[in-house]
Structure formats: C-alpha cells, structure tokens
Amino acid sequence: MVRASCLSHDNKYLYTGSWDGTARKWDLKTGKCQVIYKGHKCRVYSIALTNDGTRLFSGDHGGAVKEWDTTSGECIETLSGFDYICHLDHNGKYLAIANGKEIRIHNREDNSTRDLKGHNEYILAIVIHPTENKLISCSEDNTAKSWDIESGKCIKTFTGHTTTVFNVVTNNDWSYAFTVSNDMTCRQWDLESRQCVNVFKGHKAGIIGLCYDTTTNHIITGSQDGTVMFWDVETGSNIATLHIYKDHALWTCPQEEGMDERWFYTENPEKLKIVEQDEEGNIVNTLDPDSSERKGHIQAYNRQDMVTARISNPDEYKWKQIHY
C-alpha cells in the first residue's frame, strides 16, 4: 500500500512511501521507477522533499526518520527515538515531524530541536510555511492548530469539526487553510481573521485525502465513500465528482441551472444504470439496457470534453454551455 506521495517542484518526478518499507522515485514522463530508497524496518508513513530536490525525508511507523540523497539513493542520516510518526514536512531550514501528540522541530542549520505541545491526541498531518516560521497541524482531537516555530507557541486553535481531522493544506499565499475530517466535511479557514469561512459538504463518509490545485484555485477531497470531489474555492460549489468502482470509474458534474440533465463521462457506458427520479429524488424507473432512450441519453451527455473543461477551464466551460 502506498501511504505517502509528493511531487518534485518541477513536476518531473513523483516520490512515494509504502508499507513495504521503501520510498521510491518515479519519472513521470516514462512512468519508470528510477531509485528505490531501502533501509526502513517497517512501514513508511510520510515523506517530504527539500525545495531543491536533492534530499528526501521519510518517516516510518516504528519512529525512525531517514534522510536520502535523491539521486544516489544513499541514506545520509537516520533520526530515531520518536513515538509514532504520522507526517513530516520540510522547508529548507526546519524539518517538522508529527511525533504522537507533539511536533518535533529540527533546525537543520544549527541542529537544535524544539517540541510543540498542545494537541490532546495523535497529530495526523502538518504543513510548514515555505519561507516563514509558521506551521499548521491537525489531530485526532478534532482540531487544527497554527504555530509560531521560533517561540513554540500555539497561535490559534481551529475548532468546528466534530471528529478526527485527517488532513490540512493551505493555498499559495497562506491566506487560507483547508481541513478535512471524518465528519464528512472540508472547512476553509481565514488565517488572518482565524475564522471558518466555508464548509464544503457532499461526501457521504469521512474525508481523508486533500490537496490544493495551485493553477485553478480548486481543492480536491478524497473520501471513504469511494469518491473524489473537485470544489471551487471562490463559490464553495462542487465542480465535478469522480466515482471509483471496482472495475470502472465515472465522472459526474452537478446539474446546471436551466438543464434537465447533467454531464458525465465514463469509458464503460455499458456498466451504467440510467434511472428516472421523481421530484423528491426517488427512483421511479430504470431504463432498459438496450432501449433507444438509454442509448440516446448516453450519446448526448457522456461528454469527456465537458467534464474536462469544467474542471480545468471554467471560462471554456461557460462557452461550451452556450454552444451545445
């Protein structure tokens, strides 16, 4: 099982950490594994890459953190003595390690350490500012916290989730943070006012995966309900949903105002069940697999270009809406 991943800053390489006790470097152009980093004695839970791409850090379930030369695969250093590593991050000066209920800060310039204490349960994710002494963490205690690394003080505790907060990310300029929880919601926090400004609802089970798309100002959430949802940060609306099944995948878009149907895309239309619903959403009819009505519906609305445009180019999507 692949437990962790990160991209190089030039988007040429993907780094992964696995329960097989290894980390790997993948060439995204060829799809081939270039380097295997071996040395952990148990599952790798988190990885972090330095800004220049020359060093990779990996943390395992047994409490060891290793620093690797990304080109040669050589282990440069091993840090041990941690209780339980769930996540780590790095910004050049600081290496931050989620160590049980505490965050261990390693200053890579003078080799000093500091512990940030305040969470009441295990810390599951951390994100460190790329240039400033700031850090945000989230925990099984239902909260996220922002920290001043130099002083070691908690700046703000973000409350609102009703159960475990699994992940946290920020936008490009660190004006907002986003958290996801087992309460099936994603929350957007204004880091200046320190208030929750939006709650994204739509998943039917806990949300674990979270990332921020720097090019489109979208957030992407992955849930235990088997779906990945794309959200527009400005409007708070769902853009598209990826439904992942055992033998196929289906993209769906929300129904637009003025449209009786919605766009979708699948490479396996024969696996779709097309149903008719009443005003309350109850299924009143299932179209016959060989009916002309079902085939006509799929032909009209199974549109990869519409789904792609909606996700990657909202302006183009609006143009397509007018012309189709």
163-166: list long-range contacts, CB under 8 Å, 24+ apart. 163/206, 164/124, 164/139, 164/140, 164/206, 165/124, 165/138, 165/139, 165/140, 166/124, 166/125, 166/138, 166/206, 166/207, 166/208, 166/210
Give how far Cα 273 sits from Cα of 7, 250, 267, 294, Å: 37, 12, 14, 9
Residue 324: predicted pLDDT: 32
Average pLDDT over residues 1-29: 89
What are 166's two structure tokens? 């699994």
Residue 318: predicted pLDDT: 45
Q: Are 186 and 221 in contact (CB under 8 A)?
A: yes
**Confidence band for 320, pLDDT divided at 50, 70 and 90:** very low
Q: Give the pLDDT confidence of 208-225 residue by residue, as tens digits.
A: 989 898 878 899 999 999
Q: Give the pLDDT confidence of 28-85 residue by residue, as tens digits.
A: 888 899 999 999 999 998 999 988 899 999 999 888 999 999 999 999 999 887 876 7
Give how far Cα 226 sits from Cα of 203, 222, 251, 304, Å: 9, 8, 12, 20
**CA pair distance 138, 98, nearest whole angstrom:** 10
Q: Does CATH place domain 2-244 in 3.40.50.720? A: no
pTM for this prediction = 0.83
**Confidence band for 315, pLDDT divided at 50, 70 and 90:** low
**CA pair distance 211, 229, nearest whole angstrom:** 11
Give how far Cα 37 sits from Cα of 16, 33, 152, 245, Å: 10, 11, 33, 32
The least confident of 15-19, 188-192, 259-263 is 259-263
For the ranges 186-200, 234-248, 287-301, the one whose mean pLDDT is highest: 186-200
Which has the higher per-residue pLDDT, 54 or 254? Answer: 54
Q: Are 48 and 57 in contact (CB under 8 A)?
A: yes
Residue 5: predicted pLDDT: 86
Residue 108: predicted pLDDT: 85
**CA pair distance 156, 296, nearest whole angstrom:** 55
Residue 314: predicted pLDDT: 55
Given a cut of 90, is residue 254 above it in pLDDT? no
E strands within 159-312? Answer: 165-170, 176-181, 185-190, 195-201, 207-213, 218-223, 227-232, 238-244, 249-252, 264-265, 275-277, 283-286
Q: Give the pLDDT confidence of 144-178 residue by residue, as tens digits.
A: 999 999 999 999 999 999 999 999 999 999 999 99
Give how far Cα 154 sits from Cα of 86, 118, 157, Å: 20, 7, 7
- Kindly list the domain boundaries of the chain, sorted by start residue: 2-244, 249-323
**CA pair distance 56, 30, nearest whole angstrom:** 21
Residue 24: predicted pLDDT: 95
Average pLDDT along the chain: 88
Given a cut of 90, is residue 286 above it in pLDDT? no
Share of the chain above pLDDT 90, in %: 53
Give how far Cα 39 sits from Cα of 60, 72, 76, Å: 10, 14, 11
Query: Greatest CA span in the chain, whole angstroms?
Result: 72
Residue 259: predicted pLDDT: 67
Which has the higher per-residue pLDDT, 240 or 321? Answer: 240
CB atoms within 10 A of CB 136: 25
Q: Give the pLDDT confidence of 79-135 residue by residue, as tens digits.
A: 887 876 778 788 878 899 998 899 999 998 898 999 999 999 999 999 999 889 999
Given a cut of 70, is residue 288 above it in pLDDT? yes
CA 60 to chain centre: 20
Q: What is the DSSP string of 125-153?
A: EEEE-SSSSEEEEEETTS-EEEEETTTTE
